[in-house]
Structure 1
């Protein structure tokens, strides 16, 4: 059966709506744009173009997978973050717009040396290096698969010469490096409380890596471990930036106030007015 771009979009939108997808038309357009290698505007300029049988088959497969709640970013293999295109796959968390708040804070500070802890796709580390040409970045992750993808993203975005990717748990790879001190440490670690994981949307719970989501009982287990390591890596006067859940700033601030070497605790809100980043200085 002959099927045009316009007809394919109508079918896909209806199919995704039947499956309860929140933005069926947008997802249909993004998937077909990806399949045909053109932006969404060109879809409409080519709305009467006839799809091949192979294209129809591949598009139907993508739509059915999306109907099962597989994230669009995993289906297309890309996600925009800080106006940059990042490759993503199921070994890394999909970059969120909320995390741009943390990156904007890094850009305002302009550190000479920084560490991105739990880099995942490399979104934070690479964005910092891309927009701060004088900044040298170190990035860690416990997952070798995540680091491989982050390295690929760094190469694709032309900043691999200023980022060192290191496998390891939190700041452990740097603790014994002689005279290793940085101006800033950024972390977007797992902060979902364990008991909340089962309540997450299927797109997250079924497809994104649990390793990048589960933050333990209160969601702050890894942050507490990180904070214990920070004094051995962060310079006096340097900043620690941590992305958090909307209701965790008080718990984390209370924990930080018990440690004498930290001062100047500040909570930064996201565009929705929710607490998103905790910033604290080394005394």
Structure 2
């Protein structure tokens, strides 16, 4: 696939043009990363190494990587990691790729957690440990529990906790949301599946074909997970504690109504950088 005799620098241009023709919005950035993965040389940096023709093995490797990206496999899947809130999270096939919008939940969590004492945190649908570990990295005395239905996601979360030096303050278990857990928790946080089942098939191929359906599909109306999480959280929440949920577009009113049936009320609603209401905070009374 890759023309013979290309240097890393010229290969970057070839790959960028190829991806741009396929409609990639970040063809230049992707091309740079793919070339660097294939041959270990950053084609954007000055130096003679970027002008030496690719070896046969490097060209084959680059061709394989470009084929994967051309099939709409996200760069985070190809690289095997994604940055989130300043931390590097390793991913596997069972993990949802963290989105920048979800960082809104971290901002709210750091605002509502008690400043004068340690807190106990529960992350439901933890995936690679994204929310729990990002919060713990900012609060040195807190500890927490992460739950996910996918065993492979829990493997990634445990590996990330070790890599980030947070394994002593976090535990991860396979489970059915909060079933069987003992509280109380000062903060229960979740980015649950919230996309209506019928909509999942219409998502961009990077999401539809590569993110785990378990982390996307929220049932017929997109609210199935909220019904379970809110009911369980009401029984596990510490006095003065908070439940913090990521929302899909237009779901704030529906989730607030679900919360009221379990005795919880809205304490706050914060929008993401695109102005979309994203983080719903609930509490008692």
Scaled to the shorter chain, the TM-score interval is over 0.9
Q: Under a length normalisation based on structure 2, what TM-score does the superposition of the two structures give? A: 0.92
Match of residue 265, structure 2, among 258, 263, 266: 263
The Cα of 1:36 is off from its aligned counterpart by 4.1
**Equivalent position SS for 2:72:** coil
Contact conserved, 2:123 with 2:131, CA < 8 A, in 1? yes
Measured against aligned partners, the alpha-carbon deviations of 1:133-164 in whole angstroms (never above 9, x if no partner) come to: 11111110111110001100111111011001
Match of residue 5, structure 1, among 5, 8, 19: 8
Cα RMSD (Å) of the superposition? Answer: 1.6
Match of residue 105, structure 1, among 99, 108, 133: 108
Measured against aligned partners, the alpha-carbon deviations of 1:246-270 in whole angstroms (never above 9, x if no partner) come to: 21111111222333x3134321100
Unaligned runs of 5+ in 2: none
Once the two structures are superposed, the pairs formed by residues 1-283 of structure 1 within 5 Å of their partners are 1-37=4-40, 43-46=44-47, 47-110=50-113, 112-174=119-181, 177=182, 180-259=183-262, 261-283=263-285
Q: Under a length normalisation based on structure 1, what TM-score does the superposition of the two structures give? A: 0.93
CA–CA distance in structure 2, aligned partners of residues 162 and 138 of structure 1: 9
The number of residues matched between the two structures is: 276
Contact conserved, 1:167 with 1:173, CA < 8 A, in 2? no
- Which piece of structure 1 moves more, 110-119 or 142-151? 110-119
Unaligned runs of 5+ in 1: none
CA–CA distance in structure 1, aligned partners of residues 171 and 192 of structure 2: 19
Measured against aligned partners, the alpha-carbon deviations of 1:36-64 in whole angstroms (never above 9, x if no partner) come to: 446x6x73224324432211211111111
**Equivalent position SS for 1:151:** helix
Contact conserved, 1:266 with 1:279, CA < 8 A, in 2? yes
Cα distance change, pair 196–14 in 1 and its aligned pair in 2 (3 A): same
CA–CA distance in structure 2, aligned partners of residues 275 and 217 of structure 1: 21
CA–CA distance in structure 1, aligned partners of residues 31 and 266 of structure 2: 47
